[in-house]
Amino acid sequence: MSESQVRLRLMLQGYEQQLLTARRLAKFRAKCRVINGESRDDPDPQIKRRTYVEKVAREVYESLIYTGSTNPIIEEIRAELSSQIGAELQFTYPPGKRLRIVKVTPTGQVALSAEEQQKVRLLFFRVTREKINASMLDESGDQSSQEWF
């Protein structure tokens, strides 16, 4: 066998193991739902919750944060991002250009490079998801304390 065939076979074996593990986890979750008195056929509430959190976080990330909203959750997200970056950030839309992220320093504003902007955006979305997840109510009406990101 050639080296590429061996690599392909190992890769496929890895995928097969992942599929088997996913099936086992799905069966385990279904059994846990039955033990908790829920229907075996009901969808996993955590999957549904993740979907909703992801949708809300995407909407907040794409629209509200960059427009300067004064919503308390948005302010918390901005504060958390600033603390992780170590400087206040501003989001501007120069006429005819794309979003630009700048750091506010004591000496003035410093534009971030394209690579830094990408890292800030990824961090920003992660912080947004975490804040949205923490602020959403779970099925019982209580604040969720589950961490899954």
CA angle, corner 78, sides to 77 and 79, nearest 5?
Answer: 90
Domain spans of the chain? Answer: 1-42, 43-136
What pLDDT, on a 0 to 100 scale, did the predictor assign at position 24? 92
pLDDT tens by residue, 96-115:
777 778 888 888 888 888 89
In this predicted structure, the answer to whether residue 140 has a pLDDT above a threshold of 70 is no
Q: Is 92 helix (H, G, I), strand (E, B) or coil?
A: strand
User: What's the half-sphere exposure (Cβ side, CA atoms, 13 Å) at 14?
Assistant: 6
Integer Cα distance of 81 and 72 in angstroms: 14
Lowest mean pLDDT among 21-25, 37-41, 117-121, 132-136: 37-41
Q: Predicted confidence band at 149 (pLDDT cuts at 50, 70, 90)? A: very low
pLDDT tens by residue, 26-72:
888 888 878 888 777 766 667 778 888 888 888 887 776 666 677 78
Integer Cα distance of 76 and 30 in angstroms: 37
